[in-house]
Amino acid sequence: MDNFWDGFLLPAGIIVAQILLIVVPLLVAVAYLTYAERKVIAAMQMRLGPNVVGPFGLLQPIADGLKLLMKETIIPSGANRIVFLAAPMLTFILSLVAWAVIPFDYGMVLADINVGILYLFAISSLGVYGVVMAGWASNSKYPFLGALRSAAQMVSYEVSIGFVMITVLLLVGSLNLSDIVLAQQGGFWQWHWLPLLPMFVIFFISALAETNRAPFDLPEAEAELVAGYFSEYSSMSFGLFFLGEYANMILMSASTVILFLGGWLPPVDIAPFTWIPGPIWFCLKIALVLFGFLWVRATFPRYRYDQLMRLGWKVFLPFSLFWVVLTAGVLLAFDLVP
Amino acid sequence: MIIQALAFYLFAGVTVAAGVMVIAARNPVHSVLFLILAFFNSAGLFILLGAEFLAMILVVVYVGAVAVLFLFVVMMLDINFVEMRHGFLQYLPVGALVAIILLTELVLLFGAWVVTPVALQTMQRPIPAVEEVTNTHALGQVLYTDYFYLFQASGLILLVAMIGAIVLTLRQREGVRRQSIPTQLARRHEDSLEIKDVPTGSGI
């Protein structure tokens, strides 16, 4: 019985506590990301944004969440019930499970697995199922069109994301996310964004496409498809999609930070900067990338679908493939292979 | 140990059940979803074996890409499900034959290990221990050295298959208005837009 407590229950309890430590701040971050989005876009369009509920409108996300919870869940009579209800759950679960491998500081990671980056890639490639299942199960035109668009779009941009990850792997020589961050030690100029600048740009744009954000938000293009794949959803099933999408945005920003912006490392390796703990640097960098996401949304018009496909297959894919070969060639020629 | 055993039976049981449901489900979309479940649980089995790289590749390639395209096509099919069930028994003998052949092959393989210990020794290549090298490295070391030519050959076969698929589906349709990107980018502000100051009360 002693063994049972030490061997199973205690570790299991610790893991559950760690999971809560990641998930609860993440959900708060998601709530305030919606607030930040509205405030930032409002500022860019010279409006005020939410400012009524609470001081500076700070309670607005909570009010929105409560409103969604109180509403009635409507399941369309023509819908495929099980798939219809499973889709938002899947989206939400997938956006949370990926955080298991994200390192917040040296050794501060839930599961420090050897194939961390592949796990991240696998989970992000599964994200399309939530969208496709929702679109199909709704048994309605607009969601279905949104789902088809989304499936093609996410598969296309995953290819270039894969190649970007390979170039980073070539520089690091490990699939472990902590190793990738540690390979960027030595301050701002040692981070991967500089030697891999084109890849950094491609990754950022592909991340926008992968999370269905403007200017690639065709799956939910409100001018053409009502609300795209979640047109038929209401109440908390809609809320789960919303949470999942925003959590995915934070996740893609976190992977951008880990791959290119030095994870938890301070930008300058001297005293006042190194005093600030790693997780804070990590969050600040994520916030920076997220601001980029919002900025792009306020700035660019939506892509036309054929142009979106052209960008993915005819521009990003050949270029990232070329850059993989170039990086490998340079590393071999100068004997820099790790 | 007991948790590993439980996890194994969970993954294995769900894999088999999902596999059965792939052919038993009435709705083809449900079949594809069960297929995805089966892939996913096989990935879980790989992880239990310590083959984490294979598990992740299985999820990335099969679940993340192949099954999405399956689902994409199956979703758009307009099938009469009742009619489709009708021909089910017709294909049963063929399916049974394939299953029997696979079973025989597996029995022969495992039988050889039991009967001749030599076969077992040739099978056990000197793979480095998990503690020394991660299995991504281990796979790379074998794949890109000993089996390099076979690897290249399989790559070429896939390339040929891809070109074949493109050739089969590529056709130039008449009367389609296509955007020429270079022309579009070469357009200047001055070519397409002219600003005129129109006096009040008169046209241009």
- The Cβ-side half-sphere exposure at A310, using a 13 Å CA radius, reads 10
Q: Tell me what the mean pLDDT of segment A6-27 comes to.
A: 85
- Per residue in B118-140, pLDDT tens? 666 665 555 556 566 777 778 88
Query: Per mean pLDDT, which range of A226-235, B9-18, B46-55 is the poorest?
Result: A226-235
User: What is the Cα–Cα distance from A172 to B73, expressed in whole angstroms?
Assistant: 38
Q: Which of A122, A128, A136 sits opposite B29 (nearest CB)?
A: A136
Chain A nearest-CA residue for B67 = A129
How many C-beta neighbours within 10 Å does residue A166 have? Answer: 17
Fold of B10-79: Four Helix Bundle (Hemerythrin (Met), subunit A) (1.20.120)
User: What is the Cα–Cα distance from B118 to B121, expressed in whole angstroms?
Assistant: 5
- A interface toward B at CB cutoff 8 Å? 8, 80, 83, 113-115, 118-119, 121-122, 125-126, 128-129, 132-133, 136, 144, 147-148, 151-152, 154-155, 158, 162, 175, 306-307, 310
How many C-beta neighbours within 10 Å does residue B57 have? Answer: 20
A29 vs A190, higher pLDDT = A29
Chain B nearest-CA residue for A118 = B56
Q: Tell me what the mean pLDDT of segment A110-125 comes to.
A: 86
| Three-state DSSP string of A105-173 | CCCCCCCCCCCHHHHHHHHHHHHHHHHHHHHHHCCCHHHHHHHHHHHHHHHHHHHHHHHHHHHHHHHHC
Contacts (Cβ under 8 Å, ≥6 apart) of A81: A75, A137
Q: Which residues of A touch B136 (CB under 8 A)?
A: 114-115, 175
Contacts (Cβ under 8 Å, ≥6 apart) of A123: A94, A97, A98
Interface test with A, best of B49, B56, B69 (most A CBs within 10 A): B56
| Token reading at B136 | 């991504």
What is the ipTM metric for this complex? 0.81
User: What is the Cα–Cα distance from B194 to B113, expressed in whole angstroms?
Assistant: 83
pTM: 0.84
Q: Which residues of B touch A119 (CB under 8 A)?
A: 56
- Per residue in A265-312, pLDDT tens? 888 877 777 787 888 888 889 999 999 999 998 888 888 888 888 888
Q: What is the structure's pLDDT at B79?
A: 67
Q: Which residues of B touch A144 (CB under 8 A)?
A: 75
How far away is chain A from the Cα of B50, in angstroms, using its nearest Cα? 11
State chain B's mean pLDDT as an integer. 82
